[in-house]
A and B are shown apart, each in its own frame.
Chain A
Amino acid sequence: MSSPAVEMRSIRKSFRRRERETGAPWWRRKWKDAVALSELDLTIEAGGVTGILGPNGSGKSTLIRILGTLLTPDAGRATIFGWDVVSEPMAVRRHINRVSVEAAFFKELSPWENLLYAARLYGGEMKGTRSRVIEILERLGLSMAAIDEPMKQLSRGQQQKVAIARSFLTAPSLLLMDEPTTGLDPRSKKEVQVLLEDLRAERAVTVLLCTHDMDEAAALCDRVLMMDGGRVLADGSPHELCRLHAAGKPGATLEDVFMNLTGKSFALAEEKEDA
């Protein structure tokens, strides 16, 4: 695998929706394009954790979905280890997995039933799957009493651990993590972060971590891309970004970098996008 883990060239993605302008009659709606990604160029070499940092609506999830073969770009080309995400989706899918903000599972089914389903879809050797599942879940600190309970009875943190176990089970070369710690209590969040650090140390896996948690990005990522409005504003290691874009402020954080680059605070940008 000499090709970069991820390569994106001039990727554009917009979503069309019909909107009614203020004061216009209910039946008069106009098509409007909401730009999610604008002429994005990106290369990520294999290995390490790359953070995509940005407020809601900055294009992080769209980027992850395009790489996950779940969205097609309007223009441009994206490849994973040299395979095109649009024309060679099956080859791409064999090498990736994803952990999203929502721990998406069949909630009535148990962690074991959900993980068995995932293992079957990825077509690996089924013999010994149960012991592999137990091993991974134990390592993630999930109680074995929970393995055959319906997912709906597990806490949000426990569900997210099962989601991470699902991605580990298929041994991906590229792991797409879309806000995996959002909404978790501080303890679960810390556990997930420790897991990511262990993963980085142990396995030859490239991790793309989307987050809007500045401290998480600073602690876990080798490289950070700061995004806003579908564009990459800055790219570098957390240390470099603080040095180059925080206007010489001593003890600068990634929050300061974002403010300096956009002229707005991160929290304000989040609120604006949510509104």
Chain B
Amino acid sequence: MRIEVRHGELNALAGFAERQLHVVKRYWLWEIVWLFYSLVSVLSIGFLASGLGALGAPKGTFDLRATQLYLLIGALLWGYLSLVFMEAAFAISWERWEGTIEYTFMAPVRRITHLMGICLFAIGYGLARTLVVLVVAALAFNLDFSHANFVSALAVLAASTVPLIGLSILTAVLPLLSPQKGEQMSIALQGFLLLVSGVYYPLTVLPFPMQVAGALSPLTYALSGIRRSLLQRASVEDLLPTILVLLAMGAVMIPLSVWVFAWAETRAKRLGLLKRSG
């Protein structure tokens, strides 16, 4: 019985990821538009770094290549994370819009399986799209990876996936709380993370309360770890504390986010919010 249930859950997990893949395939033209948008966003940050000299930064006072890489890492990682957040949040609001949400919530599938399926697809898809953008950015700016340790960068990226799943589930709660405004709320949450997580600047430039908020964001540690690995050739051992912090954050955030989602689902069922809207 237990094995049957486990097989069923795995089947459902694959079902959610497969469904998302089918949706991406059907909307392939839009995917090209979004890829173009990701590319221009990252390239504009790269050119911003290139133009720092023209904006008045005195030559020789900073390392242009390192600065460019610093900003591009932020832009790339931010592009990846925001894509994962949006995929997770849209998966719920889109289901509501299509009217399928009641069918999904009626299926004999654990909510953790449902949410994991959506998040794992979002992560895989986000990584694939970010890789394309990275290749284009590396070619466009002739990026200097001579001080990079790719193994430790990948280790940090893998560890950051754990709290990222937690954050994505929390983002997916918002459309469940408010059918009308949930999506916009998820964009606001993203904006706040962008502000406090040191995507384009070190946390030290922020006012103290924002630094505290930044210290609570897993994105801060992911960015710091990846930057150290790619700019200072930090090894996995060097980055072990960062990796452990990320894993610990994930260990707290995943159960917490699933609990919050369950609470939001119970509330939606009490208030009758699962009905189709739009």
- Interface set of A (CB-CB < 8 Å, partner B): 15-16, 62, 65, 68-72, 90, 93-94, 96-98, 100, 102, 104-109, 113, 116-123, 126, 150, 166
> Contact check: which of B15, B98, B269 meets A72 at CB < 8 Å?
B269
Give the residues from 247 to 278 in chain B that come closer than 8 angstroms, CB to CB, to chain A.
266, 269-272, 274, 276
A98–B272 touching, CB < 8 Å = no
Considering the chains assembled together, what is the distance between the CA atoms of A97 and B108 in angstroms?
10
B19–A117 touching, CB < 8 Å = yes
A10 to chain B, nearest CB (A): 18
> Contact check: which of A15, A93, A106 meets B23 at CB < 8 Å?
A106
> Contact check: which of A62, A65, A109, A118 meets B103 at CB < 8 Å?
A118
Is B208 on the interface with A (CB-CB < 8 A)? no
Question: Which residues on the A side are within 8 Å of B270 (C-beta)?
Answer: 71-72
A109–B22 touching, CB < 8 Å = yes
Question: Which residues on the B side are within 8 Å of A106 (C-beta)?
Answer: 19, 22-23, 98, 100
A-B contact pairs, 25 of them (CB 8 A): A15-B272, A62-B272, A65-B272, A68-B102, A69-B269, A70-B105, A71-B274, A90-B108, A90-B110, A94-B108, A98-B103, A100-B102, A105-B99, A105-B100, A106-B23, A109-B22, A109-B26, A113-B22, A117-B15, A117-B22, A118-B103, A120-B11, A123-B4, A123-B7, A123-B9
Question: Which residues on the A side are within 8 Å of B206 (C-beta)?
Answer: none
Given contact pairs A71-B272, A72-B266, A72-B270, A105 touches B98 in the complex (Cβ within 8 A)? yes
A-B complex: 4 closest residue pairs judged by Cβ atoms: A120-B15, A123-B8, A104-B99, A121-B107
A106 to chain B, nearest CB (A): 6
Question: Which residues on the A side are within 8 Å of B274 (C-beta)?
Answer: 70-71
> Contact check: which of A15, A71, A94, A117 meets B18 at CB < 8 Å?
A117
Give the residues from 76 to 111 in chain B that come closer than 8 angstroms, CB to CB, to chain A.
98-100, 102-110
> Contact check: which of B4, B9, B276 meets A104 at CB < 8 Å?
B276
A90 to chain B, nearest CB (A): 6
Question: Which residues on the B side are within 8 Å of A118 (C-beta)?
Answer: 103, 107
A264 to chain B, nearest CB (A): 26
> Contact check: which of A62, A93, A126 meets B11 at CB < 8 Å?
A126
Not counting A93-B108, A104-B100, A122-B108, a sample of 12 additional A-B residue pairs whose C-beta atoms are within 8 angstroms of each other reads A69-B106, A70-B106, A70-B269, A71-B272, A102-B276, A105-B99, A106-B98, A106-B100, A120-B11, A123-B4, A123-B9, A150-B26
B109–A121 touching, CB < 8 Å = yes
Question: Which residues on the B side are within 8 Å of A70 (C-beta)?
Answer: 102, 105-106, 269, 274
Is B210 on the interface with A (CB-CB < 8 A)? no
B80 to chain A, nearest CB (A): 25
Question: Which residues on the B side are within 8 Å of A122 (C-beta)?
Answer: 8, 107-108
A63 to chain B, nearest CB (A): 13
Considering the chains assembled together, what is the distance between the CA atoms of A94 and B12 in angstroms?
13
Given contact pairs A106-B23, A109-B22, A116-B18, A68 touches B266 in the complex (Cβ within 8 A)? no
A178 to chain B, nearest CB (A): 10
Question: Which residues on the B side are within 8 Å of A68 (C-beta)?
Answer: 102, 106
B119 to chain A, nearest CB (A): 17
B29 to chain A, nearest CB (A): 11
Considering the chains assembled together, what is the distance between the CA atoms of A72 and B108 in angstroms?
17
Give the residues from 11 to 27 in chain B that come closer than 8 angstroms, CB to CB, to chain A.
11-12, 14-15, 18-19, 22-23, 26-27
Question: Which residues on the A side are within 8 Å of B107 (C-beta)?
Answer: 93, 118, 121-122
B27–A108 touching, CB < 8 Å = yes
Question: Which residues on the B side are within 8 Å of A119 (C-beta)?
Answer: 15
Q: Which single residue of chain B is at the shortest CB-CB distance from A107?
A: B98
Question: Which residues on the A side are within 8 Å of B266 (C-beta)?
Answer: 72
Question: Which residues on the A side are within 8 Å of B7 (C-beta)?
Answer: 123
Considering the chains assembled together, what is the distance between the CA atoms of A31 and B18 in angstroms?
43
Considering the chains assembled together, what is the distance between the CA atoms of A126 and B9 in angstroms?
13
A108–B26 touching, CB < 8 Å = yes
> Contact check: which of A16, A62, A102, A113 meets B99 at CB < 8 Å?
A102
A146 to chain B, nearest CB (A): 16
Question: Which residues on the A side are within 8 Å of B12 (C-beta)?
Answer: 120-121, 123
Question: Which residues on the A side are within 8 Å of B14 (C-beta)?
Answer: 120
Given contact pairs A104-B98, A120-B14, A96 touches B19 in the complex (Cβ within 8 A)? no
Considering the chains assembled together, what is the distance between the CA atoms of A96 and B105 in angstroms?
12
Q: Which single residue of chain B is at the shortest CB-CB distance from A106?
A: B98
Question: Which residues on the A side are within 8 Å of B109 (C-beta)?
Answer: 121, 123
Question: Which residues on the B side are within 8 Å of A102 (C-beta)?
Answer: 99, 276
Considering the chains assembled together, what is the distance between the CA atoms of A62 and B270 in angstroms?
11
Mark contacts of B106-134 with chain A using CB atoms, 8 A cut-off: 1 yes-contact digit, 0 otherwise. 11111000000000000000000000000
Q: Which single residue of chain A is at the shortest CB-CB distance from B266?
A: A72
B135 to chain A, nearest CB (A): 29
Considering the chains assembled together, what is the distance between the CA atoms of A169 and B100 in angstroms?
16
Question: Which residues on the A side are within 8 Å of B271 (C-beta)?
Answer: 15-16
Given contact pairs A105-B98, A117-B18, A96 touches B103 in the complex (Cβ within 8 A)? no
A96–B106 touching, CB < 8 Å = yes
Question: Which residues on the A side are within 8 Å of B98 (C-beta)?
Answer: 104-107
